[in-house]
C-alpha cells in the first residue's frame, strides 16, 4: 500500500495516511503520440515537467488529500495536459479560462504556450498553492469561487478590459480544463451559450458523458435534452480517450477530451425565443414514453401538434427521442405560429 506523507500544522507530528494505490511512474498509460514541443521564449513556471512527482510533492507541501466532495482527481501525465492545450490550439497571447487548476500542472502548460490564464478554483488550499507557484508571472490570475455559481461573463469582460495586449484584439477567449466529473453537465450548460466570449471549450470529461454529449443515438434512453442543447450552441467533437490510470486518485471510470466549437448567435438555429424553444424541448422529454402530441398538449391541442408533426415530415405518433435538433426547431416554429 502506497502512503503519502501529509504535513498538517494542526497535528503535533507527521502522520501517514493510506492512499489509493498509485500506478508505477514508468507504467502510466499515455494517450499515444509525441509530447507537445515547446519553444524557449517563455520560461517554464513549474520548474518540473514530471507531473507524477510534481503533483504528489505539491499535495505534500500543503498537507492535502484529494477531496471526493469536490470531485478532485489530479492528472499525473504531462502528455495529456499537452494534448488538452493542443486541442484548443493554445498559442502566444491567447486568453484561457481554466476551471479547477488544482496543483497547476495544466496551468503550467498553458502559460508555457504563452497564454494569459484566468483560473477559478473552489478549494482555498489549491488557490494558495497555484497563486504561490505562479507568483513570478503577470499572465496568471486565480479566483477562489465555486465555478457553477460565479459570474463568468463579468470576470472575462473585466480581464479583457484590464489586459493591455487585448485592447485591439477581437476579445475572444478559450476554455481549457480538467473538470470535476460531478459538475460537468452544469459547466457545459453554463459555457456553451457564451459564444460571444469564447471561441472554443476543451474539457476533460468522464468518457461515458463525453460519448453521450458528442455521439447521441436517436431512439435510445441516452438521447436527452442536453444533446439538443449541445448541438444548438456548439459543434462538439470527441478527441481522445484518457485511461483512468492517468489520475490520482484513480477514478472508477475512464475520461476523454472533448472540444466544443462555440457558435455565434447568428449561427444558432432560427427560433423566435431560445427560452421558449428549450422549454418546449424539456416538456417533450419530461415524459419520454409519451408521444409528443400528448406531452405538448399544454401548448396546443393534440390535433394541432399532429398537423405540425406532419408538416415537419414526422408521423403523428412520434416520441421526443426520435426528433433531431432540426425537427425540434421546425416543430417549435410551427407551434408558436398557431
Per the annotation, binding residues for S-adenosyl-L-methionine are 73, 75, 100, 121, 146, 178
Region class of 97: left (phi > 0), else alpha (psi between -120 and 50), else beta = beta
Coil, helix or strand at residue 279: helix
* Binding-site entries: 73, 75, 100, 121, 146, 178
The rounded distance, in Å, linking the Cα atoms of 89 and 201 is 11
- Residues in the chain, overall count: 338
The number of CA neighbours under 13 Å toward the Cβ of 235 is 5
Answer whether 268's CB lies under 8 Å from 325's CB: no
Question: What are all long-range contacts of 323-326, with beta carbons under 8 Å and residues at least 24 apart?
Answer: 323/284, 323/292, 324/218, 325/227, 325/228, 325/231, 325/232, 325/269, 326/269
Amino acid at each position: 500500500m502506497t502512503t503519502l506523507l501529509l504535513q498538517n500544522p494542526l497535528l503535533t507530528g507527521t502522520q501517514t495516511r493510506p492512499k489509493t494505490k498509485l500506478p508505477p511512474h514508468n507504467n502510466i498509460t499515455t494517450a499515444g503520440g509525441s509530447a507537445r514541443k515547446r519553444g524557449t521564449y517563455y520560461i517554464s513556471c513549474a520548474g518540473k515537467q514530471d507531473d507524477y512527482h510534481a503533483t504528489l510533492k505539491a499535495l505534500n507541501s500543503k498537507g492535502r488529500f484529494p477531496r471526493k466532495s469536490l470531485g478532485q482527481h489530479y492528472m499525473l501525465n504531462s502528455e495529456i495536459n499537452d494534448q488538452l492545450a493542443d486541442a484548443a490550439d493554445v498559442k502566444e497571447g491567447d486568453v484561457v479560462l481554466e476551471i479547477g487548476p488544482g496543483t497547476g500542472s495544466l496551468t503550467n502548460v498553458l502559460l508555457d504556450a504563452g497564454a494569459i490564464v484566468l483560473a477559478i478554483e473552489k478549494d482555498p488550499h489549491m488557490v494558495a498553492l497555484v497563486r504561490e507557484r505562479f507568483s513570478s508571472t503577470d499572465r496568471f490570475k486565480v479566483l477562489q469561487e465555486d465555478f457553477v455559481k460565479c459570474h463568468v461573463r463579468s470576470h472575462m469582460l473585466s480581464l479583457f478590459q484590464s489586459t493591455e495586449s487585448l485592447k485591439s484584439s477581437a476579445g475572444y477567449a478559450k476554455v481549457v480544463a480538467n473538470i470535476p466529473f460531478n459538475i460537468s453537465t452544469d459547466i457545459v450548460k453554463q459555457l456553451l451559450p457564451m459564444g460571444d466570449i469564447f471561441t472554443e471549450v476543451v474539457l476533460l470529461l468522464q468518457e461515458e458523458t463525453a460519448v453521450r454529449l458528442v455521439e447521441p443515438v436517436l431512439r435510445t434512453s441516452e438521447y436527452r435534452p442536453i444533446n439538443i442543447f449541445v448541438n444548438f450552441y456548439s459543434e462538439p467533437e470527441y478527441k481522445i480517450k484518457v485511461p483512468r490510470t492517468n489520475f490520482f486518485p484513480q477514478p472508477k471510470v475512464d475520461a476523454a477530451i472533448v472540444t466544443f466549437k462555440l457558435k455565434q448567435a447568428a449561427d444558432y438555429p432560427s427560433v423566435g425565443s431560445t427560452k421558449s424553444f428549450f422549454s418546449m424541448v424539456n416538456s417533450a422529454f419530461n415524459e419520454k414514453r409519451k408521444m409528443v402530441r400528448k406531452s405538448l398538449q399544454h401548448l396546443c391541442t393534440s390535433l394541432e401538434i399532429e398537423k405540425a408533426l406532419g408538416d415537419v415530415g414526422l408521423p403523428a405518433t412520434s416520441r421526443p427521442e426520435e426528433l433531431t435538433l432540426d425537427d425540434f426547431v421546425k416543430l417549435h416554429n410551427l407551434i408558436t405560429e398557431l
